[in-house]
A = this chain, B = another copy of it.
Amino acid sequence: MQILPRSFAQLVGVVIVAGSFAGCAPVQTAPVPAPSGPAAAVPGSPVLAAPAYKPEFGTMWTFEAPPLEYWRTTYNFTPDQGWLDNVRLASVRLPNCSASFVSANGLVMTNHHCARQCIEESSSKDSNYIQTGFAAANLRDEKKCAGLYVDQLISIEPVTDRVRAAVTAATTGERATQRGEAIAGIQRQCETGSANTCQVVSLYQGGIYSLYRFKRYSDVRLVMAPEGDIAFFGGDPDNFTYPRYDLDLTLYRVYENDIPFKPANFLRWSARGPVENEPVFVVGNPGSTGRLNTVAQMEFLRDVQYPATLAGYTRQLDIYGQLTKGDTAAARRYQNDVFGISNSQKAVTGYRTGLVDSARAANKLAFETEFRQRINADPALRAKYGGTWDAVAAAQSQLATFNPTLRYHGFAGGSQLLTMAAQIVRIASETTKPNAQRLTPYRGQGLETIKAAVSRDRNIDTRYERLALAAQLRAAQSELPATDPYLGATLAGRTPEAAAAALVSGTTLANTAARRALIEGGAAAVAASTDPLIVLARAIDPLNRSVTAKADSLNAIIATNAEMIGQALFAAYGTALPPDATFTLRISDGLVKTYAYNGTIAPYKTTFFGLYERSAAFDNKDPFHLPQRWIARRDRLDLATGFNFVSTNDIIGGNSGSPVINRNAEVVGLAFDSNIEGVPNRFLFDATTGRTVSVHSAGMIEALRKIYDGGRIADELQGVTARR
């Protein structure tokens, strides 16, 4: 469940950005600021009686509506409110991940891949902690992570009625503005005169609004991080797979007033770790799921969007194949790029697998039919929501008709030089406009971010550029009608190979100074430029604006109706079905469980034996290379200690770093990924073979004690009175 750029984040919002000059604006997940009110956890009420739980919606339950009856009947598990409050307050959110308090002195556990920035910034010119790992010998040695904070969800308050009351206008646009203002107002009011951070969370796409109040802890220090090679052992090939052998762990400590914070609520360490077939709970912040997508939306992804994305990966991999054929030095140089693309290919193939799977598709269709029948059976609901599915389907079919135009006129994929040329042309035109009239990626901070990205020094690989541009033009030629003006502008009668060669050899844009001069020269410099890529970008720009506007209006229809379907779901099913992920706190139940794989059985856990096996089986070659310390200290380890394990919990990007706890709220693991069979769960959840992959609690302790001289930290986690 790597939420690094190239796996999950790359795919977020891919439909929306496909047609535009995509900038580099970070994904917006930060909570928005506002006022205060009484803490309570009461969801709104559905209009119709709630039916039984639907497994395909997964188990990302909110703390507003924990499924107490379902847990009781499924696991004979009946947590009281104290259990739920303790677990909620022990769990925290990082800017991009999940984490939890795991000691009386404020230790916070998360994944190594969530903490790379702090680990890198804590390093110095004499130390590279990504390479060597780091374990503070004492409190003084713990290193403050600049700018890092953790948010603790201290209360949840229903504000659905307040938001609804503010929305009185007739048009969709005005209603959206009113809604946004109401939400901002509630958040502002919540934060006024308080140190808290507040966020109005929209569940079921507007079915419920809840005010989440967070206590923010802003003094976070690095306590322990293993070497990158053991945290991400197996690298991109093993990413999204199991059996697995990763110590994807980082420990922070929260300080207040320069002394360790003593949280009232923290998770104690399990003495025995995960037991096969026991129920366990993952508590964290899943980022984004698409389970409420309509059949039409899923079909669009399956038949249009994902095939195009996958074809792009294939083109890129073909190019690397050409660049590295018979050249081992080049193969080494491009290895990380190839692994990265293969990894994205693995993820998207996985998402699509879930959509292609006929059993899952039939299940989805059956649900949508039932859902629509429930809505249509109630005249008021029918009047309000009855037409939404068809509206989405009509817009999706419209979008499908010009998808190749949208992609190629948008310069999607391929050449970095062409993309920068397009951005230079747009920086010139957008700078002069008022913010609200700019193209979306150039609004707010977007413009400056894109400027900075284009202006920075880059190492342009012209051989790659030429191949990439040629491949892009060949693909455009095969997908667009011969009369398409894009082909006229780019090829101008040449073959794709000849056009690419001429454009790449003729442009000066590989030179940073040339790019900066064009940006600084503004519209006049851009208009006067005879650089062949700038000339080309000027020609394509109006084509792109036209097709993007067309796509934007259709996507707006889809977004509006999708929101209504979310509200309809809540009206028809209440909280019997968990809402789509919102990067806010959820609790997912599941079982520690083996599964059928590779013609045999995948074990519920792995051990340190397996780590050494996988390294030895690949002759210790990268990415199966063990850090020196793990080689030297091998004999200290009890190799039969559990290292990773799997469970049927429902997680996705954003859940990285979530604690896995047993029914006593004790830590048995640390979630960090999904197996390959779990990747399709993005759209339709299925626990037959999909699994959450976690670091085993016993493995973390064993490594701390035997490999990292971290007895001080292990003692603290296990609640042992300090021995040193």
Q: Which residues in A have some Cβ–Cβ distance to B below 8 Å?
A: 234, 237-238, 240-241, 243, 276, 346, 597-601, 603-607, 609-610, 612-614, 616-619, 639-640, 675-676
Contacts and interface: CB of A to CB of B under 8 A. Distances in A.
A243 B609 CA distance: 14
B617 A613 contact: no
Nearest 10 A-B pairs (CB), nearest first?
Answer: A599-B676, A603-B617, A609-B613, A610-B613, A616-B640, A241-B599, A607-B616, A237-B600, A609-B612, A241-B600
Nearest to A603: B617
Contacts of A606: 613, 617
A597 B610 CA distance: 17
A618 B600 CA distance: 13
Contact of A599 (B240, B609, B612, B618): B240
Nearest to A620: B640
B601 A237 contact: yes
Given A603-B618, A610-B617, 18 more contacts: A234-B600, A237-B600, A238-B600, A240-B599, A241-B600, A243-B617, A598-B598, A598-B676, A601-B618, A604-B617, A606-B613, A606-B617, A607-B613, A607-B617, A609-B610, A609-B639, A610-B613, A616-B639
A449 to B, nearest CB: 34
Contacts of A346: 599
A101 B612 CA distance: 34
Contacts of A238: 600
A115 B600 CA distance: 25
Nearest to A676: B599
A62 B607 CA distance: 45
Q: For chain A, what secondary structure do more than half of its interface residues adopt (helix, strand, loop), or is it mixed?
A: mixed
B599 A598 contact: no
A721 to B, nearest CB: 31
A693 to B, nearest CB: 12
A598 B241 contact: yes
Scoring A601, A606, A617 by chain B CB atoms within 10 A of each residue's CB, the highest score goes to: A617
A238 B603 CA distance: 12
A597 B598 contact: yes
Nearest to A638: B616
Contacts of A675: 599
Contacts of A610: 609-610, 613, 617
Nearest to A612: B609
A137 B48 CA distance: 80
A609 B616 contact: yes
Contacts of A614: 603
Contacts of A237: 600-601
Nearest to A645: B617
Contacts of A605: 617
A600 B350 CA distance: 13
A613 B598 CA distance: 17
A124 B612 CA distance: 40
A296 to B, nearest CB: 28
24 contacts: A234-B600, A237-B600, A237-B601, A238-B600, A241-B599, A276-B619, A597-B598, A598-B676, A601-B618, A603-B614, A603-B617, A603-B618, A604-B617, A605-B617, A607-B613, A607-B616, A607-B617, A609-B612, A609-B613, A610-B617, A612-B639, A612-B640, A616-B639, A616-B640
A619 B642 CA distance: 10
A241 B601 CA distance: 10
Contacts of A617: 243, 603-607, 610
Nearest to A617: B603
A601 B235 CA distance: 11
A599 B600 CA distance: 16
Nearest to A242: B598
A604 B603 CA distance: 21
Scoring A234, A607, A616, A639 by chain B CB atoms within 10 A of each residue's CB, the highest score goes to: A616
Nearest to A597: B598
A599 B240 CA distance: 7
A676 B597 CA distance: 11
Contacts of A607: 613, 616-617
A607 B612 CA distance: 9
Nearest to A346: B599
A618 B609 CA distance: 12
Contacts of A640: 612, 616
A244 B37 CA distance: 61
Contacts of A243: 617
A7 to B, nearest CB: 13
